[in-house]
């Protein structure tokens, strides 16, 4: 486990390699966190949930950091409020890297003492937690750079691929299916308990909707016809003047989009990304189709390729039957967010390797677009 732990720690830092020091502290929107904060918070997690709990006489790197880098764990005491994360130029980037080094070494030393199974389970959560922040790091870096007037380049990575196989629909028979995580492997509490769900017959697309298809919706006036939209969605596009996916810019009648490689022309064959649930829903209405439920998605997932983009479903984020929160602060991980959010299934090109499985339940409010998300239709 030590090697895996080291690799994960190393990966977080690799993601920040292309950044300038100036990029680390910016908070470009309330829902975005500065890269420095991610590096520090994923370190705080280890200190808070492993080192201070299980290592005798562990000396905190710096008492202030306990307060500064808590994210949303009310059980762990006071914390810097989310919108203020971008006001901290100190501690400096160099200091945060030192903090990481100190804590990484301490965890490794602790792992060498052969901790027992239940502690290894928490280590496993810590690894998955840091992996989640790696994906958020990519989203946040893109948002920070992509909202600057000069559109700086990050690097030529995390690219989606053109869907090359023929589009078609896969038929699934009605019946009772087993949903949720089974077996001994790691999963989050929200994937449990595994339970039966009855679904009707349905047909699901074997491809994601492409930029070309989505552009057809734009050109057909999709953003101007309320019949395709939820009432909330219609308010949202109108009060925010939204007319295309996030990062799309129309320059002299051509569509460009910001990618991690800078501003580029929209590649029509690629799957459309950076759309909200409202937009995914409106597109499906316009197309005379619908979005899958998360159950339909999970049932059919062995029969199509997935993993380029998270896929919006028409399921709200709710507890499975028998769901129970962990005791203590880790119980705040998932349960308290089960309201006003929609489920996305799959994974994206920004998801760390080995972090995905077909029972994984990702979730975002219906107006969020900066995540790497797209859509697949059902009829």
214: buried, middle or exposed (CB in 10 Å: 19+, 13-18, 0-12)? buried
Query: Which residue has 């919006």 as its token pair?
Result: 312
CB of 87 to a copy of itself, least distance (A): 5
Of 214, 248, 277, 283, the residue at the interface with a copy of itself (CB under 8 A) is 277
CA distance 158 to 166: 24
| Contact (CB, 8 A) for 145 and 152 | yes
For a copy of itself, the closer of residues 5 and 23 by Cβ is 23
Residue 178: in which H helix or E strand, if any?
A: strand 175-179
CA distance 318 to 342: 9
Establish if 249 lies at the interface with a copy of itself (CB under 8 A): no
CA-to-CA dists, residue 26 to 151, 252, 296, angstroms: 15, 31, 40
Establish if 119 lies at the interface with a copy of itself (CB under 8 A): no
For a copy of itself, the closer of residues 67 and 249 by Cβ is 67
CA angle (106 as vertex; 104, 107 as ends), nearest 5? 65
105: helix, coil or strand?
A: helix
What residues are paired with 363 via a beta bridge?
343
Of 16, 68, 309, 377, the residue at the interface with a copy of itself (CB under 8 A) is 68
Query: Which residue has 């039966």 as its token pair?
Result: 196
CA-to-CA dists, residue 74 to 67, 79, 81, 371, angstroms: 11, 8, 11, 25
CB of 375 to a copy of itself, least distance (A): 15
Establish if 98 lies at the interface with a copy of itself (CB under 8 A): no
Of 103, 197, 244, 270, the residue at the interface with a copy of itself (CB under 8 A) is 197
Selected range binding a copy of itself among 106-114, 126-134, 249-257, 330-338, rule: CB under 8 A: 330-338
Of 57, 112, 113, 149, the residue at the interface with a copy of itself (CB under 8 A) is 149
Selected range binding a copy of itself among 2-10, 37-45, 48-56, 62-70, rule: CB under 8 A: 62-70
Contact residues for 24 (Cβ-Cβ < 8 A; gap 6+) = 16, 34, 35, 36, 93
Establish if 152 lies at the interface with a copy of itself (CB under 8 A): yes
Of 5, 24, 45, 370, the residue at the interface with a copy of itself (CB under 8 A) is 24
For a copy of itself, the closer of residues 72 and 249 by Cβ is 72
Establish if 190 lies at the interface with a copy of itself (CB under 8 A): no
Nearest to 145 by CA among 283, 19, 46, 236: 19
Establish if 39 lies at the interface with a copy of itself (CB under 8 A): no
CB of 317 to a copy of itself, least distance (A): 8
Selected range binding a copy of itself among 6-14, 109-117, 147-155, 253-261, rule: CB under 8 A: 147-155
Nearest to 5 by CA among 45, 64, 38: 45
CA distance 311 to 206: 13
Establish if 231 lies at the interface with a copy of itself (CB under 8 A): yes
Establish if 114 lies at the interface with a copy of itself (CB under 8 A): no
Selected range binding a copy of itself among 88-96, 129-137, 164-172, 297-305, rule: CB under 8 A: 88-96
Positions that interact with a copy of itself (CB under 8 A): 20-26, 28, 36, 64, 67-68, 72, 74-75, 80, 86-93, 144-145, 147-150, 152, 176, 195-200, 226-227, 229-234, 277-278, 281, 290, 314-316, 318-319, 321-322, 331-332, 336-340, 342, 366
């Amino acid at each position: 486990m030590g090697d895996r732990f080291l690799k994960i720690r190393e990966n977080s830092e690799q993601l920040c390699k292309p950044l300038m020091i100036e990029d680390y502290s910016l908070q470009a929107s309330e829902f975005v966190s500065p890269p420095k904060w991610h590096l520090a918070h994923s370190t705080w997690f280890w200190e808070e949930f492993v080192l201070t709990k299980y290592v005798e006489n562990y000396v905190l790197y710096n008492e202030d950091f306990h307060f500064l880098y808590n994210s949303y764990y009310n059980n762990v005491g006071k914390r810097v409020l989310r919108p203020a994360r971008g006001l901290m130029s100190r501690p400096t980037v160099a200091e945060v890297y030192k903090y990481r080094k100190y804590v990484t070494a301490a965890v490794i030393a602790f792992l060498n003492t052969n901790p027992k199974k239940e502690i290894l389970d928490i280590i496993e959560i810590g690894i998955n937690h840091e992996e989640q922040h790696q994906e958020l790091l990519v989203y946040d870096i893109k948002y920070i750079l992509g909202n600057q007037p000069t559109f700086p380049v990050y690097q030529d990575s995390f690219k989606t691929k053109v869907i090359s196989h023929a589009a078609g629909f896969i038929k699934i028979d009605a019946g009772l299916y087993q949903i949720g995580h089974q077996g001994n492997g790691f999963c989050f509490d929200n994937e449990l308990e595994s339970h039966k769900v009855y679904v009707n017959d349905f047909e699901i697309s074997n491809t994601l909707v492409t930029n070309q298809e989505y552009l057809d919706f734009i050109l057909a006036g999709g953003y101007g016809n309320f019949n395709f939209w939820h009432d909330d969605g219609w308010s949202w596009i109108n009060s925010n003047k939204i007319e295309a996916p996030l990062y799309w810019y129309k320059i002299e009648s051509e569509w460009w989009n910001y990618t991690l490689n800078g501003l580029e022309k929209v590649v029509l064959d690629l799957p459309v990304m950076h759309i909200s649930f409202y937009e995914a829903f409106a597109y499906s209405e316009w197309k005379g189709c619908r979005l899958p439920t998360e159950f339909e998605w999970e049932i059919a997932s062995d029969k199509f390729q997935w993993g380029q983009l998270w896929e919006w479903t028409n399921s709200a984020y709710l507890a499975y039957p028998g769901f129970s929160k962990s005791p203590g602060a880790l119980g705040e991980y998932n349960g308290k967010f089960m309201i006003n959010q929609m489920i996305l299934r799959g994974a994206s090109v920004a998801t760390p390797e080995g972090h995905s499985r077909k029972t994984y339940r990702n979730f975002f409010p219906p107006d969020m677009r900066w995540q790497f998300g797209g859509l697949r239709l059902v009829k």
